[in-house]
Amino acid sequence: MPDGRALAVIYSNMETNFDRQQVGLISYPDGKFRPITADTNDYDNLSVSADGATIATVMRQSVRDVYVSSGLKADYSDARQVSSGDPVPVVAWARDGNLLTEQGSSIREISPNGELKGEIASERESAAMQPNGCSDGHLVFARRMLKTLAVNIWRSEADGTGLHRLTEGKRDMFPMCSPDSKTVFYMDLTVPAYMKVSIDGGQPERVTKEFAEFNAGFDVARDGKTLVLGTYDFKAQRPTLSLVSLDSRQVLRMFEYDPRHQGQPRFSPDGKGIVYAVREKGVDNLWLQPLDGGPGRQLTNFGSLKIYSHQWSPDGKSVALVRGDSPSDLVLIQNSPGK
């Protein structure tokens, strides 16, 4: 601030899983903190007026809602919105046919119609995220602890009881169960590497020598024999998709990864292709990349919004998606006299 008695800052906290950025002030020299904003928007970049009475910042809204399609239409045009309000970063299916969503610092279970069924791993000084349902009913998720700020992979029963930590790294994220529920695959972002660990815990193992791409992700085939990994061809300087055998840990085949890709690749329900979101003119649609090397094709025909997460139901018939957008505006925050 112009008088040198405070710093205007962008900050995030555990209550929003460190994903939502707000504006605050830190007084100087005593270092006391107080928030200026406390809402569901994100703020980025700060500029303070010469008299210190006004802060200019960019406000970004985060619209993330769950949509569910029954799959009765080939283009999934029957997808209907089943959530509203708090942004939902990711969605996954539980064994019982309900949906698992990450909202704030906890995991919520909702029905395909949006009815809240329960809340899981909502505890003080921790934040749960990136849930994934296992075929045996267990849940796995990433959990950040406030004390250490480390993110590890945890397991729980379907109702959230029986919490058990599976890994002890610094940035272990994006867990996913194998089809037989005996193994949990995840990304160690400190390397970065694709890893696996027993559902009961133990020593983690690296799945492949390929480096993990944070913005690419991975998926496990329904037969449990192969993984699809988002990788990068450093020679050609382009993103790639790699099929890896879980037995030999060798790359079976590499495909071009559309540079417009967004989010995580998923095996199609029949296992014959890889599906991921492609962004064109600010709109995301799902595209299918056949494993036989044939040309890709567009699956959905959405005319608006972006896709942030998608996953097929255990029976492969329905698909759940997180769709939304991030509109932004320049805003001015003015000091109120006496405050």
Instruction: Name beta bridge partners: 10.
Output: 23
- In one-letter notation, the amino acid at residue 205 is E
Rounded CA gap, 138 and 132, in Å? 9
pLDDT in tens, 4-13: 999 999 998 7
pLDDT in tens, 289-317: 999 888 889 999 999 999 999 999 999 99
Cβ atoms < 10 Å from Cβ of 335: 14
Instruction: Name beta bridge partners: 217.
Output: none
Cis peptide bond N-terminal to 259, omega within 30: no
Is the pLDDT at 41 greater than 90, yes or no? no
- Cα dihedral angle (118, 122, 123, 126), rounded to 10 degrees? 160
Per DSSP, 14 falls in state G
pLDDT in tens, 49-66: 999 999 999 998 889 999
Tokens of 248: 């030999």
Backbone region of residue 110 per phi and psi (left: phi > 0; alpha: psi in -120 to 50; beta: other values): beta
C-alpha distances in angstroms, 182 versus 17, 86, 176, 196? 28, 33, 11, 10
Q: Could you identify the residue written with the tokens 């005593």?
A: 30
Mean pLDDT estimate for the chain: 91
Rounded CA gap, 8 and 11, in Å? 10
Strands 126-133 and 139-145: antiparallel
Domains of the chain: 6-60 (no CATH), 63-325 (2.120.10.30)
Rounded CA gap, 188 and 76, in Å? 34
pLDDT of residue 52: 92
* Contact present, 262 and 277 (Cβ < 8 Å): yes
Cβ atoms < 10 Å from Cβ of 334: 9
Rounded CA gap, 291 and 306, in Å? 25
C-alpha distances in angstroms, 318 versus 66, 106, 161, 288? 13, 25, 28, 16
Better-scored residue on pLDDT, 235 or 17: 235
Is the pLDDT at 339 greater than 70, yes or no? no
pLDDT in tens, 126-169: 889 999 999 999 999 999 988 888 999 999 999 889 999 999 99
Q: How far apart are the first and last CA of the chain?
A: 15
Is the pLDDT at 338 greater than 70, yes or no? no
Interval 109-117 mean pLDDT: 93
Cβ atoms < 10 Å from Cβ of 238: 12
Is the pLDDT at 121 greater than 80, yes or no? no
* Contact present, 150 and 143 (Cβ < 8 Å): no
pLDDT band at 77 (very low <50, low <70, confident <90, very high): very high
pLDDT in tens, 197-247: 999 999 999 999 888 877 778 999 999 999 999 888 888 888 889 999 999
Rounded-to-5 percentages of helix, strand, coil across the chain:
0, 50, 45
pLDDT in tens, 160-198: 899 999 999 999 999 999 999 999 999 999 999 999 999
